[in-house]
Every structure is written in structure tokens, then in C-alpha cells.
Amino acid sequence: MKADYEVDARGKKFGKKNVIMLVILLIVEAIYYYVKVPAINIHSMGFWNWIIVTIIAITICFIDFRPKSLSDKKNSKSKVINIDKYFFKGLPLSVKVCFFTIVAIVLVCAVGNILSSKLVNASKYAGLINIEKGDFITDIPESDNIEDIALMDTETARIIGERAIGSLSDVVSQYEVSKKYSTIDLNGKPMKVASLEYAGFIKYLNNRKNGIPGYVLVDPVKNEAKYVSLEEGIKYTESGYFNENIYRHVQMSYPTKMFEGIYLELDNENKPFYICPTLKANAGLFGAMDVNGVVICDPVTGDTKYYAVEEVPNWVDRVYDGNLACTKYDWYGLLSGGYWNSVFGNKGCKVTTDDYGYKVMDGDVWVYTGVTSVNGDESNIGFVMINLRTGQSKYYDIAGAEEYSAMSSAEGQVQHLGYVASFPSLININNVPTYIMVLKDNAGLVKQYALVNVEKYNIVATGNTQKEALKEYKKLLKSNGIGSVQNEEEADLSEYKKIYVDDIKFINIDSETYVYITDKQGKVYKQIFKENEMYVYVKAGDFILVKTSEEDSATGIYEITDMQLTEK
């Protein structure tokens, strides 16, 4: 039986409909590329999917189904296309070429996936990270004021950041703070930074000429935020449209690069830049993706420059994303003994815990996470710290409670208040590995701080400030005989300074007695009396030795962390 419709293999020229379909296809392709901006790179699976769909669309444009006769058309409902006769034999050569091209691409992708898999390339996946054995006491200095730790999570940073612009009517009515905060090192201290974003398309149109006027800087130690105004507005941003969208701008500037993400950072002059890491496949076509460089974009001018990993400027903190850094360690921990061992034997296999924290050390931002066995028990066998700029990785062989167990222990101390613990960071207190974390209320605001001993997580100290929690924790260590706690006779006096007591006062504040001392130069120092009752022996005209924290920027008063009597 003849088919009602058959492929027209007789005509050698395009019909008008074919031309129209091709024109529509080209327009759709242009719009798709402009909207999605896929990377034109053979190592991107998305690129191959795009090519396959495009070739299918082109194939359809080549096919022309036409009725052979009017009578055949009338009987079309009872007819079917003879696939054997017309689909293979009757198709034009161009359609056949498209068909076999699709088959070839699918085969290439299938083979590429197999050759990119962990089964074939376990050693390449495991070899992406070089693990050094770290020394906890040497690498992580003892924390006195715990000012190098980014305790605040992004959720809390958002709440505080919104407050920073809440009183700026001209800003808050047109812009909103980005939900993406970057943890950075700013002059040796951890900070979180986020740009303002347009609050919708209409407000973008109204303000695009001047751009976004500033960014928000959040101090995760002091729980403070401030709005920083810029002389020139940010033109290229995540909330921008058309060519001023930062993703589109960077991808179209480097069409063959595969980008891992975009992060806002500040250079040494506090000028904002977008850091855009690029990826490279290290196993087959699609496997073992790792960062091979970054594109740095000036969001004011749109200028971009590519740097290889080893050439990235020192002020850049985030070349490697925290998720990627932990994934690379997981590949190392699971696949170092081979793929089949990771599936069946699990000998020596270990993975990171479900989350991670940040720590600023030596001018760089490190990501920290615990390491546990693949059996998924509630204890860590060690910890790993990864430098997010250089990729340097250190493993610390310290067994103890895993992070979530420590969080539960801290929450148990304040269960009557209903506070929730954030993911902790690892610090060194008197050479003892210690978790530190914040405790938040239902509104997401930081209410207290907690320190939990890693090896004995029933040792928990909480306080309304970091210093209160730290002092209480040191007392617990001393009472439990843990750590290298120095007594007064062994204290390093080089850390103290000698002051002349010009005046001393005992003042009650919130049911607490504070000692206020004014020295001969007019500087003021304070300490809670119960922390050192030796103040009863101090009077005007005496000399004392004091160890202090930094001057409080709001009051100009130095906080005494320790005091010792000396000669007059």
C-alpha cells in the first residue's frame, strides 16, 4: 500500500517553507545563545546537547512532506508512511548526513562519558589534590581573642546586611542586598561582602545609567555591617539585564571558557571586582573538572583579564569554591585505593562531612571540614584545611566528635533558650583542638557563642561574647587538666605592658562589677572584677602589668585580659 504522504526526494531545491524554517531556526538559535550563553567547549556536556538539538532542528528543516496527489490527500487518514521505503531511501542526502552526524555525536558523548568516568580514571580524580600532613599546634596558632574566625553564616549576614541599608531611603527603595556573600580576608581579618542588586527590571531601567552605588561589608566577629558607597556605580552585575548582566558579559568575553561561578571580592584599595574561576577537564572529555584559572572583571568598567592559577594576584581569596575543594578531597579519600575498592572493600576510604566553615590565616581564606570514614559514624578521624586561593591542602590526624555532634552538644547547653548552633570552625585553645560556633535565635540573630572540646565534646562553654565563652572554656580545660595552660609564674611577661595607675574605680553594670583603671597618659582599661580579684590590692600610684586586647573603636577603652601586680 502506498503512503498518503512521502518524503519528496525528487526535488533538489529548497522550497519556500524550508527557507522560512531555516530562518526561524537561526533566529531561535541566536536568541538561545544570547539568553543562555552556553560555553562553546567540547568538554561541556551542555555544549554537545545544544549541538544535537540544533542538528535535529536543521534535519527537520530539510524534510518536506507533501501529498503525491489530491486523491491521496483525501484518503490520508487511512494511510501511514512507509518507513522502510521512504525514511531511509527517500530522504535527501543532506538529511541523511544530519541523521548520521547525530548518531556519531551521541556515540562520541557516550564513549566520552565512559572514558571520563571514575571507573577508568580513578587515579586522575584522586590526584587532583596534593594532601600535606599538617601539624595542628604549628599550623594553627593559639587563639586569644578569636578574631580570625568567620563565625557568622550567610543567613545571619543577610539579616545584618539588610539593616545596614535600612535607613538609606534612596538606596533601599531602588536596590536590595545580594543574597550571595563572599568570605574574604580584609587586612588580616575575615569579612563578608555582598553587592547591592537592582530590585527588579523597572528599577534597573531607572538606575542603569548611574549603576549600583555601593556594597555591604559585614564583620562576622563583631556582628556589624556597614554600607560602602562607591564614586562610580557598578554597571555589570548579577541583576543586570542584556549586556550588563555579569554572567553574559564574562561568558561572551571568553566564549570557550567554562566558568565555575562568580564571586565578589575587594582588592587592597577596597575596590570591588568579580572573580570568575574557569574549569578544565582532567579525565577524558568531561571528567575530573578542576579550576585552571580565573577571569577578573571590573564591574564598573567591564574590563576583564584572564590569569592562570599560578598567576592570580595575592589579594584574590577565592579561586577554588568550597564545594569543589571538598569534592576533590572526597575523590582523593575514596579513589586513592582504586575504583573497585571504593565500591566494595572501602579500605582506607574517607570523606568530608556534609558542610564546611571558613578560617582566615596568613592573609588567605581557608576552608575547613572534618573527615570521617565512609561508614558514616558520628566521629571524625581527622580534619582537612584547604587554601581557597592556592589549593594547598593539609590533613590533621585528630580524632574526635564530628561537627554535628558538637553542635548538638552546644545546643544542649542552651536548650531552655531554644538557640540553634551554626556549623563550627576549628581553633587552637591552649594547644587543644576546639570547635567554636555561634548560637542563634529563631530570628537568625547571633545570641551566644559556644566552644566545644573536639576529643571530649561534653566539655562545653557558652557566653554572650566570644571573650566570655573563651574565658569559661579555659577554666573548664584547667579544671579537667587538659592542654598546656600556663600558670601565673610561667606566664610570658613579654606580652604584658607596665602602666602607672592614676585612678581606679569599681562600677556595677548589669549586676556585674567592673574595674576601670586610668593610667598616667589618660588611657582607660577595664576588666570584670571576678575574673581577677587581685584588684583589691591595687590603688592609685601603683604600677601593674596588664595584657590587653585591641582598643574598642566605639569607647576607646582597652579590655584587660590579664593583670599582675608588680613593684610601685
DSSP for 70-137?
A: HHHHHTGGG----IIIIISSSS-HHHHHHHHHHHHHHHHHHHHHHHTSHHHHHHHHHTTS-EEEP-HH
Q: Are 178 and 238 in contact (CB under 8 A)?
A: yes
- Give the pLDDT score at 78: 43
Measured distance CA(32)–CA(48) in Å, rounded: 15
What are the backbone angles phi and psi of residue 339, rounded to the nearest 5°? Answer: -65, -45
State residue 299's pLDDT score: 97
d(CA 26, CA 202): 30
453 by DSSP, 3-state: which? strand
d(CA 370, CA 354): 9
pLDDT, residue 150, reads 64
Residue 291 CB partners (closer than 8 Å, separation 6+): 260, 277, 278, 279, 280, 309, 319, 320, 324, 391
Q: What pLDDT is attached to residue 70?
A: 45
Look up residue 209 and give its three cell numbers.
545609567
Three cell numbers, residue 125? 580524580
Nearest to 382 by CA among 398, 403, 405, 394: 398
From 302, 166, 209, select the one nearest 247 (Cα to Cα). 302
What does the DSSP 8-state code read for residue 550? P
| DSSP 8-class letter at 245 | B
Alpha-carbon torsion (67, 71, 74, 80), positive or negative: negative
DSSP 6-49: EE--S--S--HHHHHHHHHHHHHHHHHHHHH-----TT-HHHHH
Which residues have a Cβ under 8 Å from the Cβ of 556 and sit 6 or more positions away? 524
446-479 burial code (b ≥16 CB/10 A, e <16): bbbbbbbbbeebebbbbbeebbbbbebbbeebee
* Cell, residue 197: 542588586
Residue with C-alpha cell 582597652?
Answer: 558
CA distance 263 to 358: 15
Contact 389, 364 (CB under 8 A): yes
What counts of helices (H) and strands (E) characterise the chain?
14, 30
CATH for 490-565 (2.40.50, 2.10.260, 1.10.10, 3.30.70): 2.40.50
Q: Tell me how far apart the alpha carbons of residues 356 and 385 are, in angstroms, rounded to a whole number.
A: 10
DSSP β-ladder status, 524-528 and 557-565: parallel
Q: Would you state the pLDDT for residue 377? A: 65
Distance separating alpha carbons of residues 59 and 67, to the nearest angstrom:
20
Interatomic CA distance for residues 399 and 370, integer angstroms: 10
Please report, for residues 40, 255, 256, 341, the alpha-carbon distance to residue 46 in angstroms, rounded to integers and kept in the order given: 9, 13, 13, 31
What distance lies between CA 281 and its chain's CA centroid? 21
Q: What is the pLDDT along the chain (568 residues), one digit of tens a residue?
A: 444 444 444 444 557 777 888 899 999 999 999 999 999 999 999 999 999 999 988 888 877 655 544 444 455 444 444 444 445 566 677 778 888 899 999 999 999 999 999 999 999 999 999 999 999 988 888 776 655 566 777 888 888 888 888 878 778 889 999 999 999 998 888 899 999 999 999 999 999 999 999 999 998 877 789 999 999 999 999 999 999 999 999 999 999 999 999 999 999 999 999 999 999 999 999 999 999 999 999 999 999 999 999 999 999 999 999 999 999 999 999 999 999 999 998 888 999 988 888 888 888 999 999 999 887 667 899 999 999 999 999 999 998 988 999 999 999 999 999 999 988 888 888 889 999 998 999 888 888 999 999 998 899 999 887 778 888 898 898 888 887 544 444 445 667 888 999 999 999 987 889 999 999 889 999 998 888 888 988 999 899 999 887 776 667 888 888 888 876 5
Q: What is the CA radius of gyration of the chain?
A: 32
Contacts 24+ apart (CB under 8 A), 52-55: 52/102, 52/105, 52/106, 54/25, 54/29, 55/98, 55/101, 55/102, 55/105
Q: Which SS3 state, helix, strand or coil, does residue 55 take? A: helix
β partners of residue 176? 197
Alpha helices by DSSP H, 254-395: 322-335, 339-340
Tell me the pTM: 0.80
CB 383 within 8 A of CB 396: yes
What is the C-alpha separation between 413 and 178, in angstroms, rounded? 34
